[in-house]
Structure 1
Amino acid sequence: MAATHVEPDPYAPRPTLWQRRPHLGWVLAVFGFTVFLTYISFPPVNTGEAAYVLALPGILWAYRRPALRMYVWTVLGAQMVAWTALLGWLHNVTWGGLLLLGPFVGLLVGSWFLAVWWTIPRLQGHKALVRIFAMLGLAALWVVLEWFRGVIFGGFPWLPLAASQWQRPLVLQVAAYAGAGATSFVLVVFNLGAGAYVHRAFFEGVTGFKKRTPEFSVALLVLMGGSFPFLADSFNQQRRPLARVALVQPYIPQNEKWDAAHASEVLRTLENLTYTASHRGAPELILWPEAVTPWALYKDANVQPWLESVAKRTGKPILLGTVAAQQLSWPDWHWTNAAVVVSPADGLQAATYAKRKLVPFGEFVPLRPVLGWIEKFAPIGGDFQRGSDAAPLLVPVNFGPTLNGRMVSVRQVPVGVLICFEDIFPALARESVRAGAEVLAVLTNNGWFGEGGAAYQHAAHSVLRAIETRRPVIRCGNGGWSGWIDEFGSIRATMENDAGSVYFRGAQTVAVTRDIRWAGKLSYYTQHGDWFLLVCVALAAGAYYTVLMLRPPRPEPDASKRF
C-alpha cells in the first residue's frame, strides 16, 4: 500500500523555538547558572554559599540523560568562560596568558562533569548504598583532579573549591587534619546530594516524605561531620603575644619598580613609610614585601649599607623580599627571589631564604631550549634559580640597649617565609613548619595584576595554609592584601584605607598573637601530609569499578525527556 502524503496545515500555528529545540532551555540554563555560580563563589565577589550549589546545574542535567556532545560543549564551555573571568586580572600582564590559562583550568575543572554524565544515569533504579558510594566516589574524584591541577606543568592549584570558604572558617577546620581537599570533598558531596534531592522533588513528581533521598541525608551528615567535630580546637584558645609587626605597603607601580630613574624615589618611599611605622604602634618587627629593593642585593654595593642604615635608625629588624645576585663565575650570575633579615645591631643576617617554587614564564622558562622563543613575548631577562631550603629565618625581636650601649635581642622568632604564589602550594607551608617555623610570612607583589580580584584570591590561600599548619600567617604585599590570619583561619587584621580598599600606599602595625597550645606542636596534616588524597584515589577507583559493573540504565521511553 502506498504511503499517504499529508499536506501541512498552512493555518496551524508555527512551533516555537522551544518546541523545535527542546534541549535549548537546558543548554542556556546550565551554561548561564554554571558560569554565574562559579564566578560568585570565589573572590572578589565572595559569595561562598554559592559553592554549595555550584555544580548543581550540571548534575541536574545529567539526570535527564542529555546527548554527550551537547553536555560536553555546554559544561566545558561554561567552565572555560567562568575561569577566564576569575583569572581576568591576568590581562594586566599578558592577554595571551589569560586566554590560555583560563580555558585550560576550565577544561581541567569541567572534566569532572564528564564523570557525572557517565555515572548518574547508570545509578537509576539501583540500591541507595550503591548510589551513595558512587556519590562519594565522584566527590573523591574532584579532590584528585584538584591535586592533578597542582602538579601538571609545574602546578597551578589556584582557587581550589575550599578557597571559596576563606571568609567562613567553620567548614574549613577539617583541613588541619586532612588538608584543604577535605573541605572541597565536603562541598562536592553536598552538591551531589542536593542534586539528588532537587531532581526527586521537582522532576520525578513525588510529594511529601517521598521527596527525601538517602543521598541528601548522607550529604548533610558529611557536612556536619566535616565541620562540627573539629570546632573543639578553636574553643578555649590561650592566646599570647607573638610580636608587633609593622606592615609596609609601598604600592610601587611596576613600570617604576625596576626603572633606574625612579630608584631614588622608591628608596625614599620605603624609608618614609618605615620611619613612620617605627614611631607608631611600637612594632618589634618591620615587614617589607617581595623583591622590594630597586637593585639586587649583593650585586649593588649600595643596597646592603642602605638597608642596614634604615634598620639601625629605626631600631627594629626588617624582614624583606629582594632579588639576590651572586657571581659564580664571569659573566654568570646566580639570581634568586629571596628574603633576608636585617638586624639593627648586627646588620644583614647570613641566613637567606630563596624561593622554592618559581613562576613558569615569569621567573624562568621551562624547557628553555625548546620554549625559549616565548621570552620574546614575555621578557624575563634570565632565569631565577630555585631554592631548596625550607628552614625558617630567625628574626631577632625585643631589642634593648646594654650597659655599653650596644643593642641586643631578647628573643628570636623562627619565621617560615613564602614568597609570591608559594602559599598556594600546601606542601611548601608544611615543609616550613616541619623545619621549625612558628609563624608564616607571605611576602608578595600583586601589583602586577592591577586592582581586581587577584589580591583577594591570593589571600584566600593563606587562610587555608594557616588552618592546615595551625600557624599564624602574616601577609605583606606591595599593593595589598596585607594583614594577618590566626591558626584557625580567622582574619584578625586587614590593611585598608579610609575607602575600604586594600590597594593603597601606607603602613600599619598589627599585634600578632598565637595560641600557645600549638606552640611547637604540629597539626595532623603537617605531620602526615596528603593521606586523604590517597583515600580519595582509592574511593574514586572503587566507585568507578562498582558503577562499571552495574547493569545498563533503563531505556528512556520518551526521547524528549532526555533534555
Structure 2
Amino acid sequence: MPETTRAAGTLHKVWPWMAAMLSGALATISLAPFNQSWACWIALTPLLAAVWFSGERAKRRGVRDVLFGYVAGLVFFWSAFSWLHTVTVPGLIAVGFYMAVYFALWGWLAGLVRPRPPLPEPERGPHAWPPPRPNDSPEARSPWLSSLRNLGLAFVLACGWTALEWVRGWMFSGWGWNGLGVAVHGVLPLIQIAEFTGVVGLSFVVAFANVIVVVTVRRFIAETKIQKRRPHYDFTLTMAAIVGLCAYGIRVLQEHPPTKPLRIAAVQSNVPREEKFSQQFQGKTFFQFAQLTRIALAVQPPPDLIIWPESSMPGPVLEDESNHRFVMNVAGSMKADLLLGSIDEDEKGAYNAALLVPGGAGKPQVYRKLHLVPFGEYVPGRHTVPFIAQIVGNQVPDDFARGTEAVVFRLTKDQIKVAPLICFEDTLGELAREFVLRGADLLANVTNDGWFLHSAASQQHIDNAIFRCVETRRPLVRAANTGVTCFVNQFGRITQVLRSKTGTTFTEGVLSGTVDVPALAQMTFYTRHGELFAKLCGCVALIFLVVRIPQLVRRKGEGIK
C-alpha cells in the first residue's frame, strides 16, 4: 500500500476524534483565563462535523456520536476546571468523567437529527416521463439546501444543549459553572436577555449560531457542486436575531431606573489557606481585620455597610468566646452594619454561615448556607459509599450541615434588604431569585477563592456570578478572602474592583464606594418564573425524542440506513 494511501486512511480515521478534542479546547479558551469569547461561536462546530460527516459506513454510528461528545466533554471539563487540582486531583478526574456525559448526550442528539443523504434517482430511459430535470443529482436534492430545515435543526439542537446545561445545574446537587453562554459575559448588550431567560438563554443563542455555521458551510459546498446559489435565509435570520437582541440590550443599558445610594466597604484579607482556620494565627487575624476595618471607616463619607469575606474568623463567631468578643467589639465601635462569613453550630452540626451585626453591636441576623459544594463542603455518599470518602481523604474530614431557609438581612440604612450569598451561591440563578422574591434589594457575596490559589477559579467565579445581576436587576457586592472583590451593577457591568498597584486582584485591601440600590422592588420575568425558558427547551427536546426514536426503530427494522 502506498504511503500516501495509508496516510489518507489514517487521517480519515483520526480526524473526527481530533475535531471532538478541538471542540473541547475551543470551549475552554472562550473562558477565563484565556477570555477568547469569539471561540464560543464556533466551539461546537468541529464536534458537529465529526458527528455528521464521518463514519457513514460505521455499524454503530450512534455509539461513535456519543463517544465524540464524551471526548469533547473530557477535554473541556479537565482543562476549564483544571484549577481543581489545587484542592483535589481525584475530584478533578471525577468531575471530568461525570460532566462529560452531558456533552456525550448532546453528541447523541446531534446524531439523531443528522439529515439523511438523498437517495439516488432510479435509472430512466430516454423517453421517460417526466423528463430528467437539470442538475437532478443527489446534491441538488440535498437537505442542506433548505433554510427551513436548517433552522429547525438548529432549534432542536440549541434546545437540547440548553436543557442539558440546565440539568447539569441541579442534578446530583448541581454545578452549572461555565455554560456556553458565560463566554459572552463581556458583551453587555447581548446578555441583557438574561432577565427573561437566565444565562441559559445566552447558551441557546450561541449553540444555535454554532449549528448555523456548520450548515451554512455545508450548504455552500452543495451549491458549489450544483453551481447554483440560493438565498441563505437561515444564516440571515440568525444574524438578524442576534443583532436584534443586541439592539434591545443597548436600549436597556440606556435606562436609568430610580435608585438609592448605599455606601459599602468590602474587605479582602488575603489570608493564606493554611492559616485560615488555625487558632495559632487567631491574633494575627484579629489584628488584620481590625486594621482593615479602621481603613474602611476612615473613608469619607463613611460606609453604611462593611463586609468581611467568607469564614473571616478562625472558628465559630457565636459559639467561640474570643471570636464573638472581637466581632462584637468591632461592631460596637461603629455605626455601620457588619456582614461577615462565619462558621455556625448547633446540635445538628456545623454550618457555613453569614452574620449581619447591626452597628452598635445589635442582635446578629444569621443565614446558613443552603447549597453546599460537593467535595468541598460535603462528600456525596460519605456514609453509603465509603470508598468515595477514602479517595477524598482528609481534604473534607467532615460534612457541613445544610441550612433550611433563605434568610434576607435587613440593614439599618433605609431598611435595605440584602441577600447573603456564600461562596459559589452567587452562581446559582434559582437561589438568587429566591432571595429577591423574599424582598432582597442587594446581592452580597462573601467568598473564599483562596482554596484555589492564584488560578483562574476566581475570575471564572465572577464571570458566572454577574448574570445574577441581569437576571434579577439587583446589584452585587463581593467580598473575597482573595480573588475578585468588586461591585457589579444591575446590568452586569463591573463598576469597581480591588487591585494592587501591580494590577493583581490577589491582594489585601479595602474596596470602598457607593452602590446604587433599586428604589422600586420590581421583579423581572426571570425572578417571577425562574428557569422557564430552560424547561421549555427541555420539553422541545423530549418531544423530538418521542417522535424521532420510534421512526429510527422502524427504519432499522425495515433495513433502511
TM-score bracket relative to the smaller structure: 0.7 to 0.9
- RMSD of aligned Cα (Å): 2.7
- The aligned counterpart of 2:71 is 77
SS class of match (1:452): coil
Deviations 1:382-427 (A, max 9, x none): 3322112223101223xxxxxxxxxxxxx22210111011122211
> Does the 8 Å CA contact 2:69/2:103 hold for their aligned counterparts?
no
> Does the 8 Å CA contact 1:304/1:348 hold for their aligned counterparts?
no
Distance, in Å, in 2 between the alignment partners of 1:123 and 1:449 is 50
Alignment of 1:33-182 (within 5 A): 33-66=22-55, 67=58, 68=61, 70-122=64-116, 125-126=142-143, 127-182=146-201
SS class of match (1:349): coil
Alignment of 1:343-362 (within 5 A): 343-345=358-360, 347-362=361-376
**How many residues matched?**
523
RCO higher in structure (CA 8 A, sep ≥6): 1
Report the more deviating stretch, 502-511 or 69-78: 69-78
Closer/same/farther in 2, CA of residues 313 and 188 from structure 1, 3 Å limit: same
> Does the 8 Å CA contact 1:244/1:511 hold for their aligned counterparts?
yes
Task: Work out which of the residue numbers 451, 454, 470 in structure 2 matches 1:451.
Answer: 454
Q: Which amino acid aligns with 1:83?
A: F
> Does the 8 Å CA contact 1:190/1:223 hold for their aligned counterparts?
no
- Displacement of 1:123 in angstroms is 7.6
- Displacement of 1:473 in angstroms is 0.8
TM-score, normalised with respect to structure 2? 0.87
The answer on 1:236 being equivalent to 2:255 is yes
> Does the 8 Å CA contact 1:364/1:380 hold for their aligned counterparts?
yes
The answer on 1:216 being equivalent to 2:235 is yes
- The aligned counterpart of 2:559 is none
- Displacement of 1:120 in angstroms is 2.1
Deviations 1:417-461 (A, max 9, x none): 110111222110000000000000011111101111100111112
- Displacement of 1:348 in angstroms is 4.4
- Displacement of 1:240 in angstroms is 3.8
Distance, in Å, in 2 between the alignment partners of 1:71 and 1:17 is 25
Report the more deviating stretch, 140-149 or 375-384: 375-384
Alignment of 1:331-342 (within 5 A): 334-342=349-357
Closer/same/farther in 2, CA of residues 284 and 534 from structure 1, 3 Å limit: same
Q: Which amino acid aligns with 1:369?
A: H
Distance, in Å, in 1 between the alignment partners of 2:179 and 2:552 is 35
Distance, in Å, in 2 between the alignment partners of 1:367 and 1:104 is 15
Distance, in Å, in 2 between the alignment partners of 1:21 and 1:385 is 54
Closer/same/farther in 2, CA of residues 100 and 381 from structure 1, 3 Å limit: closer
- Displacement of 1:225 in angstroms is 4.2
TM-score, normalised with respect to structure 1? 0.86
Closer/same/farther in 2, CA of residues 235 and 92 from structure 1, 3 Å limit: same
Q: Which amino acid aligns with 1:335?
A: A
> Does the 8 Å CA contact 2:32/2:460 hold for their aligned counterparts?
yes
- The aligned counterpart of 1:483 is 486
Alignment of 1:253-402 (within 5 A): 253-281=272-300, 282-326=302-346, 328=347, 334-345=349-360, 347-376=361-390, 377-397=393-413
Task: Work out which of the residue numbers 500, 503, 506 in structure 1 matches 2:503.
Answer: 500
- Displacement of 1:185 in angstroms is 0.7
> Does the 8 Å CA contact 1:52/1:191 hold for their aligned counterparts?
yes
- Displacement of 1:100 in angstroms is 0.9
> Does the 8 Å CA contact 1:201/1:207 hold for their aligned counterparts?
no
Distance, in Å, in 2 between the alignment partners of 1:325 and 1:358 is 16
Q: Which amino acid aligns with 1:237?
A: H
SS class of match (1:254): coil
SS class of match (2:352): strand
- The aligned counterpart of 2:525 is 524
- Displacement of 1:29 in angstroms is 4.5
- Displacement of 1:206 in angstroms is 5.2
Distance, in Å, in 1 between the alignment partners of 2:268 and 2:82 is 24
Task: Work out which of the residue numbers 205, 208, 212 in structure 2 matches 1:193.
Answer: 212
> Does the 8 Å CA contact 1:65/1:117 hold for their aligned counterparts?
no
Distance, in Å, in 2 between the alignment partners of 1:479 and 1:531 is 35
> Does the 8 Å CA contact 2:310/2:480 hold for their aligned counterparts?
yes
- The aligned counterpart of 1:407 is none
| Bigger proportion of residues as strand | 1
Note the residue ranges of structure 1 that are not aligned, 5 or more in a row. 1-7, 398-410, 555-563
> Does the 8 Å CA contact 1:135/1:215 hold for their aligned counterparts?
no
> Does the 8 Å CA contact 2:441/2:518 hold for their aligned counterparts?
no
> Does the 8 Å CA contact 2:45/2:214 hold for their aligned counterparts?
yes
Q: Which amino acid aligns with 1:522?
A: M
The answer on 1:14 being equivalent to 2:26 is no
Distance, in Å, in 2 between the alignment partners of 1:25 and 1:373 is 37
SS class of match (2:116): helix
- The aligned counterpart of 1:424 is 427
Alignment of 1:435-474 (within 5 A): 435-474=438-477
- Displacement of 1:117 in angstroms is 2.4
Task: Work out which of the residue numbers 266, 269, 275 in structure 2 matches 1:250.
Answer: 269
